[in-house]
Amino acid sequence: MATDARAIYVTALRNTHAMEQQGLQQMEIQVSRLERYPDYAALLNRHIETTRQQLQRLEQSLQAAGESAPTVKEAVTAAAGTVGATVHGMFQDETLKNLYAGYAYQYEQIGAYRSLIAIAETAGETAHVAAFRQSVQEEEQAAQEVAGLIEPVTRRYVELTTSGDKADR
């Protein structure tokens, strides 16, 4: 049985929603551990708000397609996000590992949204393409902001670690 383009579009919407939900949970856990990295915490707080807006857009797209937000897949990916953030928290260099993962994750999201746009256009589901393009721009901006923090956060981490202070707690 062949799958039609609309079914692929709905699956892509669900997957993107689950990915954003997982990212939101990871950021919410991480931001609580960044009291010694105020610039990094501020960036995450801004992106948490952006992610909530992106989730609303995806939910509107799902509703327009006659679907509801995913539940089972989201529960699994949310649990994975919590586990990932917790595992990184067990290591001394948690802040750096989360920074690297966050940088890479921005590009994963850019790819997912660009793919979603192509799927939507192929399926003739173009009503929300502008919103998806906005999400691409937001993720590209976030990637640039994270890139700009890599060196300053790394220097701060080394400073705190070599002074005998606990860098990540």
Contact yes or no for 131/119 (Cβ under 8 A)? no
Spans of all domains in the chain:
5-163
- Side chain identity at residue 125, one-letter code: E
- pLDDT tens per residue, range 60-106: 999 999 998 776 444 555 554 444 444 444 446 899 999 999 999 99
Please, which pLDDT band fits residue 3 given cuts at 50, 70 and 90? confident
Rounded to 5°, angle at Cα 81 from 154 and 32: 50
Please, which pLDDT band fits residue 164 given cuts at 50, 70 and 90? confident
Return the CATH number of the domain spanning residue range 5-163.
1.20.1260.10
pTM confidence score: 0.84
- pLDDT tens per residue, range 107-123: 999 999 999 999 999 99
Measured between alpha carbons, how far is residue 144 from residues 11, 18, 89, 103, 137 in Å?
A: 29, 23, 24, 9, 11
Rounded to 5°, angle at Cα 94 from 88 and 99: 100
